[in-house]
Amino acid sequence: MKTDIQRELIPRDDAVHLIGVLSAMKGRLLDAPRQWELLDGSGHVPAAPSYTALLQHAADAQNLSRDVLRLTADFARGPHGTTRAGGAVLAHLATAASLSSHAAPHFTETAENALSLPRASHPADRYYLSNRMVIDHAAARALLRRTSESLRDAVKELDAHLDFHRFFSTPSRQESPAPAPPRPSAHHR
């Protein structure tokens, strides 16, 4: 018979699978912003930043966000989201979903400002738009980085949860005591 604590455990195979999925997604969220650069080699906004490249950053961020949202929704619908450990994991996933959903609009704002930059007639307008682009792009990248940190924290919760499995696991055949030898029968011939 399972104790209340054992009923709260996320099955080991499910936890290990989720750790793998979260780790892969965390890696994607860290790698993408590293590849999405706004500034040129000298650390300045290019004179004519590529609208299409910046819009692609937004589209890719939207795809990453969609994946985080789907993972969060699937976990919330599953049987593990209602357990204590599952609730802690779900809290990290909810934070990740919220953070990731805010990244794409910042990338989109960056792209929109890139379109306006060549048409800026005054140096002050150009300066403002350039700064706005840097701020929005950096904010979007930071949101994706913080999303990956939330996924990392969810993995930590699951790793800690797996430690509980050691205390409640059933012994394997090698760990189980050997069966008692058969008793001699009382009937001798």
Residue 62: inside a domain, yes or no? Answer: yes
Query: Cα–Cα distance between 170 and 160 in angstroms, integer?
Result: 19
Which has more confidence, 46 or 116? 116
Global pTM reads 0.80
Domain that holds residue 19: 9-168
Examine residue 116 and state whether it is found in any structural domain, yes or no.
Answer: yes
Report if residue 49 sits inside a domain. yes
Confirm whether 173 is domain-assigned: no
**154-169 pLDDT, tens per residue?**
999 998 888 766 666 6
Give the per-residue pLDDT at 134: 92
Domain count, the chain: 1
Q: Count of alpha carbons within 13 Å of 140, Cβ hemisphere only?
A: 30
Please work out, in degrees rounded to the nearest 5, the angle formed at the alpha carbon of residue 61 by the alpha carbons of 59 and 67: 105
Would 187 be classed as within a structural domain? no
* Residue 3 placed within a domain: no
- At residue 172, the 3 state secondary structure works out as coil
For 43-97, the pLDDT digits (tens) are: 888 878 889 999 999 999 999 999 999 999 999 998 877 778 789 999 999 999 9
Mean pLDDT of 12-34: 92
Q: What is the mean pLDDT of the chain?
A: 85
User: Quick one: pLDDT band at residue 171, thresholds 50, 70, 90?
Assistant: very low
**51 domain residue, yes or no:** yes
How far, in Å, CA of 30 to CA of 16, rounded? 21
**Domain for residue 44, yes or no?**
yes
Radius of gyration (Cα) for the chain, nearest Å?
A: 26
Cα gap 24→29, rounded to integer Å: 9
* pLDDT at 3 > cutoff 80: no
Q: Summarize the confidence of residues 96-108 as an average pLDDT.
A: 97
Predicted local distance difference test score (pLDDT) of residue 45: 82
Does the pLDDT value for residue 25 go beyond 60? yes
